[in-house]
Amino acid sequence: MRVVCYCRVSTADQADSGISLEAQVAKMQAYAALYDLTIVEVITDAGESAKTLNRPGLQSALAMLKAGKADGLLIVKLDRLTRSIADWQDLIDAYFGERTKEALRHKINRRQRVGKVRFGYDLGEDGVSLVEDPAEQQVVALMRDLRAAGRTLREIAAEPTQRNIPTKEGNSQWQHQTVAYILRRAA
């Protein structure tokens, strides 16, 4: 995946010393190396506020995304990009929303992991695809049966707790919210 690294500092002192910019670049380079991302360009806005999206560097980075010269934008913290929720939503709608949804939908359709591995599945030998965990699938089936029988989420959560069946994270105490999530995903 090709990414543009975007850095921003707001004060003249930070812009002149370059320390904060250098630290941001170093973090992004380490992240890119860890996740096998290709940095196509590093763009900075020195001495610019995040109150607006009309910053020369940011506009250049966004233009690269729009032109297909990069697949993603890499930042160290959200506040380097914007401090405005409205601007953040505009960016998602214009640059990230549909692209992210399509990528996630594609991975899910190929039975690949999106986020953490959910209960009922394990990672395949390739480290990417999902394979059913037979023991956990039995617990999911039990939860479905109990729900169909009219049991509440709290009552259903009590079953694996009483049977000492751990959650995916290894917790021995099941929560009704976890059961609700599992049942929604299993539907």
The answer to whether residues 147 and 105 belong to one domain is no
Asked whether residue 67 is domain-assigned, the answer is: yes
Q: Which of 109, 133, 152 is the last residue of a domain?
A: 109
CATH number at residue 82: 3.40.50.1390
The answer to whether residues 103 and 167 belong to one domain is no
Cα four-point dihedral sign 114, 116, 119, 121: positive
The answer to whether residues 160 and 100 belong to one domain is no
Q: For the chain, what is the domain count? A: 2
The answer to whether residues 25 and 78 belong to one domain is yes
Q: Which of 45, 78, 109 is the last residue of a domain?
A: 109
Asked whether residue 115 is domain-assigned, the answer is: no
Our CA dihedral for 27, 32, 33, 34, rounded to 10 degrees, sits at: 90
- pLDDT tens digits in sequence order for the chain, 187 residues long: 889 999 998 875 565 555 688 889 999 999 998 888 899 999 999 888 788 888 999 999 999 988 889 888 999 988 888 887 887 787 777 777 755 566 666 666 776 666 678 899 888 888 777 889 999 999 999 999 999 999 999 999 999 999 999 998 888 899 999 999 899 887 7
The answer to whether residues 14 and 105 belong to one domain is yes
The answer to whether residues 67 and 137 belong to one domain is no
Residues 143/183, Cβ–Cβ less than 8 Å = yes
Domain containing residue 9: 2-109
Residues 21/9, Cβ–Cβ less than 8 Å = yes
User: How high is the pLDDT of residue 89?
Assistant: 80
Asked whether residue 132 is domain-assigned, the answer is: yes
**Angle formed at CA 147 by CA 146 and CA 149, multiple of 5 degrees:** 65
